[in-house]
Structure formats: structure tokens, C-alpha cells
Amino acid sequence: MAEKTYAGKSVNVTEDGYLTNPDDWTKEVAVEIAKEEGIELNEKHLTVIEFIRDKILKGETLTIRSIGKSGIIDTKGFYDLFPGAPLKKASKIAGVAKPASCV
């Protein structure tokens, strides 16, 4: 556990940098986490991130496949938006826990 300051707000994060409390999340916080990941957030990113937050906070598990089928974005688009490790990066920016799925 560590403490970080995003958008003038002090928040607790895990060793990997995921917010420990999803309620600490705001759009401003997201913009700064994204910057650390080398991503300049735009509307499309935010749509995906809000989708992820919504599902995860409802207790659902997400996979790259399920996001690719969500109708919000296809798999390739998801990889393009969050290059490298999309599910991890998007979850981190969305202020939810590190994804634990294998697919």
C-alpha cells in the first residue's frame, strides 16, 4: 500500500498503483493516472472506462473478450486505445482493482 496524490487529492494505491478505494476516483484523477500510463484521455477512453467501472462495481468480471463484445468498442480498438496491456491499464485508470481474469 502506498499513498499518491492525483489532482490535488491524496489517495491510497496498491503496490501496482491501483486505487484501493474506487470511490476516490474522479475524472480528474483518471486523467492523471492515464498520463502516468502515457495516455492522453479522450472521450472514447472515458466511455470505455465508465463502462468498466460500471460493470466492476456491480461485481462483474471483465475480460478483453467481453469488452470486445460490449458494443462499446471492438477488441482491436481496445488495444489501440490502451496500447500494451489494455485491460490492466484501463482498469487502473478506471480506479478499480487489478483484473484477475486469464482471458
Partner 1 sequence: MEHPIKKVMIICAKANIEDVYAALVMANGAVMEGIEAKVFFTFFGLDAITKKRMKKLHTATTGNPGMRMPGGLPFPTLLGILPGVEAGVSAMMKNQMEKLDIPPVDEFLELITAGGGEIYACKLAVEMFGLKKEDFSEHVKDIITIGQFYELAAGEGTQIIFT
Please give the positions annotated as active site.
Answer: 102
d(Cα 95, Cα 89) in Å, to the nearest integer?
10
Helix (H, G, I), strand (E, B) or coil at 51: helix
Q: Which is nearer to partner 1, 72 or 79 (CB)?
A: 79
Distance in Å, CB of 62 to partner 1, minimum: 9
d(Cα 82, Cα 8) in Å, to the nearest integer?
25
Tell me if 103 contacts partner 1 by CB under 8 A: yes
Query: Which of positions 42-81 make contact with partner 1 (CB under 8 A)?
Result: 61, 63-66, 68, 74-76, 79
Q: Which is nearer to partner 1, 28 or 74 (CB)?
A: 74
Helix (H, G, I), strand (E, B) or coil at 52: helix
